[in-house]
Copies of this chain bind each other. A is one copy, B any other.
Amino acid sequence: MTTDTFIQPFKSVANYFSRIGRDVTSVIERDPAARSKLEVMLVYSGLHAIWIHRITHWLWQRDIRFLARWFSQAARWLTGIEIHPGATIGPGFFIDHGMGVVIGETAEIGADVTLYHGVTLGGTSLNKGKRHPTIGDRVVIGAGAKVLGAIEIGADSRVGANAVVVKSVPENSVVVGVPGQNVRRSQPTPNIDLNHTSLPDILGVTLKELLQRVDELESRVEGHTDEHDHIHAPQDESWVGADFSI
Q: Is the CB of B149 within 8 A of A183?
A: no
Within 8 A of B (CB), among A139-184: 142-144, 146, 148-149, 160-164, 166-167, 169-170, 173-174, 176-179, 181-184
B202 touches A244 (CB 8 A): yes
Asked if residues B104 and A118 are in contact (CB atoms below 8 Å), the reply is: no
Is there an interface contact between A179 and B206, defined as CB atoms closer than 8 Å?
Answer: no
How far apart sit A119 and B147, CA to CA, in the bound complex (Å)? 16
Contact check, A177 vs B174: say whether CB atoms are below 8 A apart: no
| Interfacial chain B residues near A110, Cβ < 8 Å | none
Q: Closest chain B residue to A126 by CB distance?
A: B32
Does any Cβ of B come within 8 Å of A97's Cβ? yes
A211 CB within 8 Å of chain B: yes
Is the CB of A120 closer than 8 A to any CB of chain B?
A: yes
The residue from B65, B82, B186 contacting A246, defined by CB atoms under 8 A apart: B186
- A194 touches B (CB below 8 Å): yes
Which residues A20-60 have CB closer than 8 A to chain B?
30, 32-33, 35, 39, 42-43, 45
Interface of A toward B, CB cutoff 8 Å? 30, 32-33, 35, 39, 42-43, 45, 65-66, 69-70, 72-73, 76-78, 80, 82, 84, 86, 97, 99-100, 102, 104-105, 116-118, 120, 122-128, 131, 142-144, 146, 148-149, 160-164, 166-167, 169-170, 173-174, 176-179, 181-186, 194-207, 209-211, 213-214, 217-218, 220-222, 230-231, 237-246
Beyond contacts A76-B99, A166-B199: 17 other A-B pairs, Cβ-Cβ < 8 A, are A35-B69, A42-B70, A97-B102, A99-B102, A102-B143, A124-B197, A125-B195, A143-B146, A160-B164, A160-B178, A161-B178, A177-B178, A179-B204, A184-B239, A198-B246, A203-B203, A206-B231
